Structure 1
Amino acid sequence: MGLVNNLKAKLGPAKGKVSGLAREHGDKIDRGLDKMAKTVDQKTKGKYSDRIQSGTGKAKDAMDRLAHKDDRSGDQGGEGTPGTTTPGSPPPAS
């Protein structure tokens, strides 16, 4: 178990950095995902459109979770500790 705990301790700061980058550049990431999905859809001549759209949506949702965008009303946070909610925001879904 020492190895797992050691890895978690080392990856903790990296997760915080990635979360901050996702929060800061989320719009660019979304545009990139949309552009990639469109290109792949064109290359496959629409054969996998459903799967491409589904995968793109899942990737965007994962990116939003990583950026801690629990509230999609436009408030992107940026202040505070990752994993906490701000006063007045809804609690995370269980």
Structure 2
Amino acid sequence: MGFIDNMRARLSPAKDKVADLARQHGDRIGDGLDKAAKTVDDRTKGKYSDRIQSGTDKAKGAVERMGKKDGEDGGRGRSGGSQQPPNSPRG
């Protein structure tokens, strides 16, 4: 067993635990991310608002992906994300 395989085997229980926590508390995690983003945005006086929002959205997406069970990707494959099909209307 190689180093990477050994590390994966050791970290697997932690990954499962994080996924369970993301499923159970995803909404609270999202609220905490929003609160942290607002605090940082206020302290930087809006100078980095677009970057803060982008980072917050990416973090929420990661929490959402962690919280999904295997096979629940909604047909998006491994890329995940919230990209819409090219012909769909934006809302």
Q: Same fold (TM over 0.5)?
A: yes
Structure 2 distance, partners of 1:20, 1:12, is: 12
Q: Which runs of 4+ in 1 moved over 2 A?
A: 89-94
Q: What is the RMSD computed on CA atoms of the aligned residues?
A: 1.7
Deviations 1:37-67 (A, max 9, x none): 0000000000000000000000000110111
Residue 8 of structure 1 pairs with residue 8 of structure 2? yes
The share of aligned pairs that are identical, in percent, is 56
Show the counterpart of 2:70.
Answer: 83
TM-score, normalised with respect to structure 1: 0.75
Unaligned runs of 5+ in 1: 69-81
Which structure 2 segments of 5+ residues have no match? 79-91
1:41 is aligned with what amino acid? D
- Which structure features the higher share of helix residues? 2
Match of 2:47 in 1: 47
Cα separation, 1, equivalents of 2:74 and 2:63: 19
After superposition, what is the alpha-carbon deviation per residue over 1:6-37, rounded to whole angstroms, capped at 9, x for unaligned? Answer: 11111111111100001101111000000000
SS at match of 1:31: helix
Are 2:47 and 1:93 aligned? no
